Amino acid sequence: MGSVLLAGLTVFQLFYNTPAQIWLRNAWFDAYQRMMPRSQAAQPATIVAVDEKSLAQLGQWPWPRTLVARLVDSIAKHRPLALGVDIIFAEADRLSPSELAQHNPHIGSALALQLKRLLSNDEALGTAMRKLPVVLGVAGLDQAGHGALPHSTALFRTQGDPLPHLWRFTSALTSLKVIDEAATSRAILSADVRDRVVRRIPLIVAVGDNLLPSLGLETLRVGIGAREILVRTGARGIESITVGDAVIPTDLDGQVWVRFSPHNTDRFVSAADVLAGNVDQDRIEGKLVFLGVTGLGLIDQQATPLGERIPGIEVHAQMLENIFDGNMIRQPRWVRWLQVALFAIFGALLVFAVPVTAPARSSLLMVTITGTLLLLGMGLFRYFGFLFDAATPIVGLNVLFGGLLRSTLNEADRQRQSLKRQLDVEREAAARMAGELEAARRVQIGMLPVPALSFWGESRFDLHASMDPAKEVGGDLYDFFMADESRLFMLVGDVSGKGLPASIFMALSKALYKSSALRSLPDLGATMAEANVEITRENPELLFVTVIACLLDVQSGELTWSNAGHEPPHIVGVDGKSVRSLDGGGPPLSTLENYPYQTEHARLAPGESLVLVSDGVPEAMNHAQQLFGRARVGTMLAGMPAGMSAEDRVRAVTGEVRKFSDGAEQADDITVLVVRWHGPTAVSGEQCAVS
């Protein structure tokens, strides 16, 4: 989804130019100018303004053309390079003598005839304008059949055809013929104010099929005495316009971005001061002079990117300052490609990073990208005058980031719901498994004989056993039963492995061994060998079992045993201090087929105890990874009080092991079986053997 959204936004930025994009781009370019306004250096132009002071002293506008002619004469005396007039004299002056005679019925015919013979005010203005180079402004019109098709005296030399790319008017509003013919050249006054802010002005436009320069450009050409204007046109549009030594890069439509400085009254001199001769010679001499009306209420003040309103004539003056200072701002095509490329690169970074990064880190990445674009845009504008649109990619990246973040959160929520469902299933399975394991535990424990219920009324010995599995179920086993009236059979075993497989094999091994014992007693070696064959035959998982089997004659104390890889049994003396280990035996069951296990012999004295343990006792481990060890088993048994019952000794052994482990995880099943022989005492009560 992120890649598709990125591709769509990239294509949108590359090929679409919606009003919203234009507004955002212009707002950002305005922000550049407000943050870094131009500092005025050169002042090639001076504006002679018909300002509030002039209107107060000389009367309301429009002035008689004779007064305007006097103003032009006064300007000419200061020898400017050229005069650009931002005023259109489209109608005859009603204060001309002939106009007064025509429109005043109270004037007699003789006086009217004399007035009509006098020079008109418009002719007086034309006469004044011929005394210096004057560029007369015209206004472009879009209505066909209205106005004229003015021409410039400039020689346009073109490379390529600029007409299809220029701002085009069908006609223009010009001054009266007598005034227009007196001017040196003509120029367009129109500026691009379609969004009510002047950002760009055209250097040349097309009126019909005629090329017409802007007022500032034509005043510059006339002032420096250049004959031609070179227009360089590429495949996509206008590339540059050259006047004299000034090569001015333009947008594709022949317009230039004006880099504004704040409104400066030093650019202006009052027309009243010029007429009164109160202006320093150097304010006008050798400069390009513009004449315009700036009095409030007479013209529209133009809004600039700096957030202030200035007279329209000042826009032309600032454009000339841009040319002279060499700090024009422009937007080369490669800057737009850079903008789109950075959007694609940073967008791809977000597509890669957001789904695998925490929201806080993703937000930090987005802030870093935003800061990088902002700094790049401001740096390009400040040091090179390039207009890099940082706002559009930032908005696009925020849209992409929001989409990715929402998609990531939705995916996280989906995964959370999936995990919750999976956890519920696992909890249900775990609960079912726990129930099944608990049932298996009960079955396993139920298979082991209970010492307290096995030998009612028996006085010749007492026996106790316990099995503590490391998991829910274990692989240890024990068994005991009276083989006949005088012989007690005992068994402790340990299946390799732990858990459910070991417990199942434990149950099988116990049943097979007991079956073998019932057939082959009293020869424990033969019993062990037969059990080895049976268990090996029923062992597809190749598990093995360690077993210690003992047969105690409870009348004589004679003890026989056979050991198949199990922990050796211990005999604790009557004094409780002497402990001897019964060593010897063969390999575990189900490891070597047909192994000849031997029957070993020993004898218990009255009061002595036989202790059988599984390897969970010597292999018990504490937090320091230390083993309990076989040596500690013997030491532990020797340290117990004399005369302990079998049950007390079992509890003492398991208690010592737990104390040593000190809460460390139990590594193996722990099984302890203890029998204490009292001697050949007569049996009292009913004897019951349960296995």
**Given this model, what pLDDT does residue 363 score?**
92
Average pLDDT over residues 137-159: 85
Record the tokens describing residue 259, joined without a space: 């880099």
pLDDT tens for residues 181-203?
Answer: 999 999 999 887 767 899 999 99
Record the tokens describing residue 430, joined without a space: 């775990």
- Distance (Å, whole) CA 26 – CA 35: 14
Pairing of strands 487-495, 570-572: unpaired
**Comparing 137-141, 299-303, 437-441, 518-522, which segment has the lowest mean pLDDT?**
437-441
- In the chain, % of residues over pLDDT 90: 56
**429/624: higher pLDDT:** 624
Record the tokens describing residue 267, joined without a space: 């650019």
Taking 50 as the threshold, does the pLDDT of residue 81 lie above it?
A: yes
pLDDT tens for residues 481-499?
Answer: 888 889 999 999 888 766 6
Record the tokens describing residue 292, joined without a space: 């315009």
Name residue, tokens 């806080």: 360
Taking 80 as the threshold, does the pLDDT of residue 449 lie above it?
A: yes
**Given this model, what pLDDT does residue 584 score?**
87
**Given this model, what pLDDT does residue 502 score?**
67
Contact 151, 185 (CB under 8 A): no
pLDDT tens for residues 205-218?
Answer: 999 989 999 999 99
- Distance (Å, whole) CA 652 – CA 636: 9
**Given this model, what pLDDT does residue 688 score?**
36
Record the tokens describing residue 648, joined without a space: 């007390």
**Given this model, what pLDDT does residue 163 score?**
94
Give alpha helix (H) positions in 285-390: 312-325, 333-353, 359-384
What average pLDDT does the chain have?
Answer: 87
Contact 141, 118 (CB under 8 A): no
Taking 90 as the threshold, does the pLDDT of residue 524 lie above it?
A: no
Instruction: Quote the pTM value.
Output: 0.64
User: DSSP assignment, residue 355?
Assistant: G
Which residue, among 582, 609, 586, 611, has the nearest Cα to 596 in the 3D structure?
586
**pLDDT grade, residue 682 (50/70/90)?**
very low
Angle at 661 between CA 660 and CA 664, to 5 degrees: 160
**pLDDT grade, residue 668 (50/70/90)?**
confident
**Given this model, what pLDDT does residue 41 score?**
86
Q: Residue 385: left if φ>0, alpha if ψ -120 to 50, beta else—which one?
A: left
Record the tokens describing residue 72, joined without a space: 């032009």
**Given this model, what pLDDT does residue 684 score?**
39
Contact 327, 256 (CB under 8 A): no
- How many C-alpha atoms does 211 have within 13 Å on its Cβ side? 24
Indicate the class that CATH gives domain 448-677.
alpha beta
**pLDDT grade, residue 687 (50/70/90)?**
very low
**Given this model, what pLDDT does residue 664 score?**
87
**Comparing 320-334, 406-420, 558-572, which segment has the lowest mean pLDDT?**
406-420
**Given this model, what pLDDT does residue 106 score?**
66
- Distance (Å, whole) CA 610 – CA 550: 10
SS (H, E, C) 634-671: HHHHHCCCCCCCHHHHHHHHHHHHHHHHCCCCCCCCEE
Name residue, tokens 């010995």: 461
**Given this model, what pLDDT does residue 683 score?**
41
Burial 402-441 (b: 16+ CB within 10 A, else e): ebbbeebeeeeeeeeeeeeeeeeeeeeeeeeeeeebeebb
Record the tokens describing residue 246, joined without a space: 């000034």
Record the tokens describing residue 24, joined without a space: 């955002």
**Given this model, what pLDDT does residue 346 score?**
94
What residues contact 275, with CB distance under 8 A and at least 6 apart?
Answer: 58, 70, 71, 74
Q: Examine residue 249 and say whether the peptide bond preceding it is cis (omega within 30 degrees of 0).
A: no
pLDDT tens for residues 278-314?
Answer: 999 999 999 999 999 987 665 667 899 999 999 989 9
The full set of domain ranges for the chain reads 1-38+328-423, 41-88+122-325, 448-677
Which residue, among 301, 297, 319, 119, has the nearest Cα to 215 in the 3D structure?
319
**pLDDT grade, residue 669 (50/70/90)?**
confident
Contact 215, 137 (CB under 8 A): yes
